[in-house]
């Protein structure tokens, strides 16, 4: 019997706006309007200034370890813009600030999170994002469960979950992908492939030529996009959203990008990255690329840039003031955002501020009859 082909596939790579800010008119037709392109550029700059001040706060001892988003904003911003605010859900890792802010998360909550204040994880009602996830990969399982619930309840919602290239080497990624595709849930797996899992380059993490192809093993749709091209990111995510809404299941998007800063403020990337590599990616900066595009179309100029910078400065000032000026928490506030309704055991812990039975029930050992406890 002759050998036959059991399976064959190809991975598409999508780029619409190149590094010089030139749009592919055919691919880019009706993707983003002029007004949307300007809006996204303004948000990118505003959010980058917030990111930069967070770095400054950490360096001045006013914030703990912080992971910069600089260089990867088009991934979060473009994908977040494609999701429906207040309807769809975002399940982030820790480098998606632009998407979170776009969907209504107050920026000072992210600052509080990295300042070690638990109130930074108290997401306001109506803001459909989950708290920042520090463990690598766990959020993908949460997103899969949420998407399955929405499917069972027949709700018109899509869930997007974000992660880095290193997370695809975790078992959680494979378990989540297998479950999500088997149950055909409305989920988008968005990988920000920034080339480095802390100090380990992508080539040393995996033998696969792309991350997108990992979806093929699970029967998911997949595409690789230029992650610094906000047009490509938006279109790929929008297509994945509509596919999921129509019952087409899971899509894995690999956005090829680069973190221009260190992994976190506790890292020194100069020890393992070639300066020439960093310099080459600085030329691909999504902010520079998008500005070139709107300038070429006559939508932007130096005066508008100066006004934007002033506005961003004022926004940053308010964010810092809100995060540093917050009143000290009361000890019981740790219970406030855990559950909609506290369990009896947790209510008892809150009321007694004790976790052990002797503190909660002193009468068990006769302490209530003791003169010291009357």
Report pLDDT for 374: 46
Q: Is residue 7 part of a domain?
A: no
**Based on the domain organization, do 301 and 346 belong to the same domain?**
no
Note the pLDDT of residue 248.
Answer: 97
Mean per-residue pLDDT, 319-341: 89
Indicate if 272 belongs to the active site.
yes
Number of domains in the chain: 2
224 and 348 in one domain?
no
pTM: 0.92
The pLDDT value recorded for residue 84 is 98
Structural contact between residues 221 and 277, judged by C-beta atoms closer than 8 angstroms: no
Residue 297 lies in a domain: yes
What confidence tier does 367 reach under pLDDT thresholds 50, 70, 90? low
| 127 found inside a domain | yes
Q: Is 259 a catalytic residue?
A: yes
Residue 341 and residue 230 share a domain: no
- What is the number of alpha carbons within 13 Å of residue 134 lying toward its C-beta? 9
In a domain, 1, yes or no: no
> Which range has the worst mean pLDDT, 135-149, 175-189, 241-255, 337-351?
337-351
pLDDT cut 70: percent of the chain above it: 95
Catalytic residue (one of 272, 296, 339, 373): 272
Write down the catalytic residue from 259, 273, 289, 291: 259
Give me the chain's average pLDDT, please: 94
Question: Is residue 218 a contact partner of residue 187, using CB atoms and an 8 Å limit?
Answer: no
Q: Are residues 207 and 246 in the same domain?
A: yes
Question: Are residues 304 and 175 part of one domain?
Answer: yes
Tell me what the mean pLDDT of segment 243-272 comes to: 96
How far apart, in whole angstroms, are the C-alpha atoms of residue 8 and residue 216? Answer: 10
Q: Does residue 263 have an active-site annotation?
A: yes
User: Per-residue pLDDT averaged across 299-311, rounded?
Assistant: 98
| Residue 108 confidence (pLDDT) above 90 | yes
**pLDDT, tens digit, 9 for 90 and up, residues 91-103:** 999 999 999 999 9
Would you place residue 365 in the very low, low, confident or very high pLDDT band (cuts 50, 70, 90)? low
176 and 228 housed in the same domain: yes
Same domain, 98 and 169: yes
Q: Where are the beta strands (DSSP E) in the chain?
A: 13-14, 89-91, 159-164, 187-193, 196-197, 200-201, 221-226, 251-256
Counted residue by residue, the chain has a size of 374
pLDDT confidence band for 366 (50 / 70 / 90): low
- Residues near 156 by beta carbon (within 8 Å), at least 6 away in sequence: 87, 245
Q: Express each pLDDT in 8-19 by its tens digit.
A: 999 999 999 999
pLDDT at residue 68 tops 90: yes
Q: Does residue 137 fall inside a structural domain? A: yes
Same domain as 366, residue 312 = no
Query: Which of 309, 324, 339 lies at the terminal end of a domain, its last residue?
Result: 324
The active-site residue, picked from 263, 273, 289, 291, is: 263
Structural domain boundaries enclosing 364: 331-373
Compute the C-alpha angle 47/49/55, nearest 5°: 110
Q: What is the mean pLDDT of residues 285-314?
A: 98
22: domain CATH number? 3.40.50.970
| Per-residue confidence (pLDDT) for residue 352, from 0 to 100 | 87
pLDDT above 90 for 337: no
Q: Is 235 exposed, middle or buried (0-12, 13-18, 19+ CB in 10 A)?
A: buried
What digits encode the pLDDT tens for the residues 148-191? 999 999 999 999 999 999 999 999 999 999 999 999 999 999 99
Q: Tell me what pLDDT residue 331 has.
A: 86
Using an 8 Å Cβ cutoff, are 198 and 271 in contact? Answer: no
Q: How far apart are CA 137 and CA 317, in angstroms?
A: 33
pLDDT reported for residue 224: 98
List of residues 6+ apart from 130 with CB closer than 8 A: 89, 90, 91, 92, 123, 139, 142
* pLDDT attached to residue 354: 84
- Is residue 28 a contact partner of residue 231, using CB atoms and an 8 Å limit? yes
Of the pLDDT bands very low, low, confident and very high (cuts 50, 70, 90), residue 272 is very high
Q: Does residue 66 register a pLDDT over 80?
A: yes
319-347 mean pLDDT: 90
Identify whether 3 is part of a domain. Answer: no
């Amino acid at each position: 019997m002759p050998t036959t082909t059991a399976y064959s596939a190809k991975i598409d790579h999508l780029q619409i706006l190149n590094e010089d800010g030139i749009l592919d008119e055919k691919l880019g037709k009706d993707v983003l309007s002029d007004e949307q392109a300007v809006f996204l550029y303004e948000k990118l700059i505003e959010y980058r200034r917030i990111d930069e001040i967070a770095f400054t706060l950490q360096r001045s001892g006013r914030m703990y370890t912080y992971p910069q988003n600089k260089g990867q904003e088009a991934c979060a911003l473009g994908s977040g813009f494609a999701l429906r605010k207040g309807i769809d859900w975002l399940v982030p890792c820790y480098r998606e600030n632009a998407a979170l802010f776009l969907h209504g998360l107050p920026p000072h909550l992210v600052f509080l999170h990295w300042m070690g204040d638990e109130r930074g994880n108290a997401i306001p009602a109506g803001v459909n994002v989950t708290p920042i996830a520090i463990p690598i990969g766990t959020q993908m399982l949460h997103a899969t469960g949420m998407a399955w619930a929405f499917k069972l309840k027949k709700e018109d919602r899509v869930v997007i979950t974000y992660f880095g290239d290193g997370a695809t080497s975790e078992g959680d990624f494979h378990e989540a992908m297998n479950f999500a595709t088997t149950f055909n849930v409305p989920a988008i797996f968005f990988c920000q492939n920034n080339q480095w899992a802390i100090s380990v380059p992508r080539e040393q993490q995996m033998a696969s030529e792309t991350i997108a192809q990992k979806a093929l093993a699970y029967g998911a749709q997949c595409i690789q996009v230029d992650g610094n091209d906000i047009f490509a990111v938006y279109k790929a995510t929008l297509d994945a959203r509509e596919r999921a809404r129509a019952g087409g299941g899971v899509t894995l998007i690999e956005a090829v990008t680069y973190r221009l800063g260190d992994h976190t403020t506790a890292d020194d990337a100069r020890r393992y990255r070639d300066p020439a590599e960093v310099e080459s990616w600085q030329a691909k900066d999504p902010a520079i690329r998008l500005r070139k595009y709107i300038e070429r179309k006559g939508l932007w100029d130096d005066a508008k840039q100066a006004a934007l910078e002033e506005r961003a400065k004022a926004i940053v000032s308010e964010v810092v003031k809100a995060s540093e000026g917050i009143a000290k928490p009361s000890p019981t506030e740790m219970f406030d955002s855990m559950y909609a309704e506290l369990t009896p055991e947790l209510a008892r812990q809150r009321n007694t501020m004790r976790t052990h039975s002797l503190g909660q029930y002193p009468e068990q050992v006769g302490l209530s009859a003791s003169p010291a406890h009357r």
